[in-house]
Structure 1
Amino acid sequence: MCERRGRAKSWADVIASSNVVKYVLENELDYKVELMQVEPGLMFASIADGSADAMVGAWLPSTHADYYEKYEGDFEDLGVNLTGTRNGLVVPEYMDVESIEDLKADSES
């Protein structure tokens, strides 16, 4: 089973989800599970070519949409496992920042 990994380190939410799925598969369904941490492109390619069996860490419909479209039809989508999530930049309230351009301007101070 693949876990999504960011450029420098693993994503904590996917590690947790992957380990829950691993526990259920091994302890309730008697499967042997090996977790692999891979970049998103390899994650989708591995599921599509059968070298990995499952993943729980795709951010759809936006972040990983290109990979989904590239490999669509080569895997079975079992549906959403988490709803209501958002993806974006966050700054502390004390900063006077309303946009990415504001961050660029603030970096000089």
Structure 2
Amino acid sequence: MGSRSGSIAYTAFSPRPSLSRHSSIATNITDRAKPRDYLILAIIACFCPAWPINIVGFVYSIMSRNSLEQGNIDGALRLGRVAKLLSVVSLVGGVIIIIACAVNLSSK
């Protein structure tokens, strides 16, 4: 009787799955284009004064990248879209805040 850890049946049906194994429902990245995580846009948005929105957009961008690394293509696509939306809203809001401050300071 040898150790059970070396047998094929034991490793295939292990109660503790390995982190490096991908699930069987993961789709192949070559079938579809790799979803974008919009990390650069989220980093640029962090320089705008709309700070709560841009930090949440940055977090969603990181979550999108992590989902893609785990093989969850649909989750990465959904999180990437949310990160893009929040980053764009942050950029537009930041520009509006900067313009409003400039107008307010120039009128005094």
TM-score of the superposition, structure 1-length normalised? 0.29
Asked which structure has the greater CA Rg, the reply is: 2
Please state which structure has a larger fraction of its residues in strand: 1
TM-score of the superposition, structure 2-length normalised? 0.29
Please state which structure has a larger fraction of its residues in helix: 2
